[in-house]
Amino acid sequence: MPDSLEKQTLWTKPFIMVLIANIFVQMGVQTTNILVPKYAKVLGADSATVGLIAGLFSAAALLVRPFASPAFDILRKKLLIQVTLGIMILAFGCYAMSSSITMVMIGRLIHGLGVGTCIPLLLAFAITKMPGSQIAKGVSFYSLGQAFGQAIGPSLGIALTNSIGYRGAFIVAFGFECIAAVILSFCASDPRPKERGYRIRPDRIICKETLPIAVLTMLTYFAYTCISGFLAIYGGLCGVENIGLFFTVCAVLLFAVRPLTGRLPEKVGFTTVLLPSLGFFALCLITISYARTLPLFLLAAVFSDLGHGAGMPIVQALGMKVTPKEKSGVGSNTLYVGADIGQFAGAYVSGLIIDTLQAGGVAELPAHSMMYRIMVIPLIIAMIYTFVVLRLKKKY
């Protein structure tokens, strides 16, 4: 990062453009993520298959990272982002044309190839537009794009499906990615990296400084997938027609939560803020497991904001803070490797838990409820890991 950038304000035109582009990218991704499992259910998939499809793009993303990551810090990030956005646009087109589970899976795999490179590249590209002294604050605001997508996208996807059907909703998501591509085309490119040959080596795939934080990312996303993958289905089983309001409440509260959590870590310590957020996230899942009416789901949404909504930008900021600047690309990739493993494994395990419980004689609705309680376990492990590995040994 140039020395002159250290003296700049965070709110430069390039940073704002990347911030807006990220919002549209995440809107497309999150609108689709909530619809694909539900669409697979409509096409006749069982819960384990629904979970597999929900996490399939993470598996594809994980597979492509060893080949994509070595290019992150030797080629211009903007160029790579444009290519991978094209791949994601192709995936959304595939969703819109699909009429079978097989076609949905193909679209999911293509989607994963694009997500596996585009999302970490966008974060690394955004880091080049931030002053070094304001990375925690910058990542917190940047991550609003992902949080906004997670909060608004699912609600919008459900509303679009009810009004124009699955195909129309997928076409709208397609449009979001196209808008992001146009915005980024006008954004100034990143500095030309020092020439280094393309080699698939461990140090160009995984950043050892970032790895401990990636483990925490894996645990939190393992738990979060039971919301992104099954909440729409669970809400329908409970007879809650407006389950999309869960995500709307998240969206409103995020704008109050994120600015606060963006400032606190640098003042009181990352783990001091992170530990309570993990506790609130666990409380969110427990509340969902007992919810049968909309008010309880909305209370869970509040806990989700204080938990996952507040915690994930802290984890991302900590990961990038401990990553050397010249390794921002591979450091960002390392965090997303953790997220990919967590999302793929968590989505499949969530569905498997439901099917196993139903095979044992538990009805579908209580099987979903019990799954949410069981998925608190990875968050308990995350709290122990944060306290023992990060707070006591590393003193973050």
Indicate whether this model's pTM tops 0.85. no
Taking only the tens place, the pLDDT of each residue in 236-286 is 899 997 887 888 888 778 777 766 666 666 676 777 778 899 999 999 999
Where are the chain's structural domains? 12-190+203-394
Average pLDDT, the chain: 83
In this model, does residue 6 exceed pLDDT 80? no
Tokens of 314: 């802290």
Residue pointed to by tokens 């939190």: 220
Distance linking the first and last C-alpha atoms of the chain: 23
The whole-angstrom separation of Cα 136 and Cα 148 is: 18
pLDDT at 49: 87
Structural class in CATH, domain 12-190+203-394: mainly alpha
Strand runs labelled E in 113-195: none
Name the band, by pLDDT with cuts 50, 70 and 90, for residue 320. Answer: confident
Rounded to a whole number of angstroms, the CA Rg of the chain reads 20
pLDDT at 1: 45
Q: 3-state SS string over the chain?
A: CCHHHHHCCCCCHHHHHHHHHHHHHHHHHHHHHHHHHHHHHHCCCCHHHHHHHHHHHHHHHHHHHHHHHHHHCCCCHHHHHHHHHHHHHHHHHHHHHCCCHHHHHHHHHHHHHHHHHHHHHHHHHHHCCCCHHHHHHHHHHHCHHHHHHHHHHHHHHHHHHHHHHHHHHHHHHHHHHHHHHHHHHCCCCCCCCCCCCCCCCHHHCCCCCCHHHHHHHHHHHHHHHHHHHHHHHHHHHCCCCCCCHHHHHHHHHHHHHHHHHHHHHHHHCHHHHHHHHHHHHHHHHHHHHHCCCHHHHHHHHHHHHHHHHHHHHHHHHHHHHCCCHHHHHHHHHHHHHHHHHHHHHHHHHHHHHHHHHHHCCCCHHHHHHHHHHHCCHHHHHHHHHHHHHHHHHHCC
Taking only the tens place, the pLDDT of each residue in 16-36 is 888 899 999 989 988 888 788
pLDDT at 336: 79
The whole-angstrom separation of Cα 96 and Cα 35 is: 11
Q: Is 100 exposed, middle or buried (0-12, 13-18, 19+ CB in 10 A)?
A: exposed
Between 288 and 2, the higher pLDDT residue: 288
In this model, does residue 99 exceed pLDDT 70? yes
Taking only the tens place, the pLDDT of each residue in 111-162 is 888 877 787 788 778 877 777 667 767 877 787 777 677 667 877 888 898 8
The whole-angstrom separation of Cα 148 and Cα 86 is: 22
For the chain, helix (H) and strand (E) counts, in that order, are: 14, 0
Q: If you ran DSSP here, which 8-state letter would residue 131 be given?
A: -
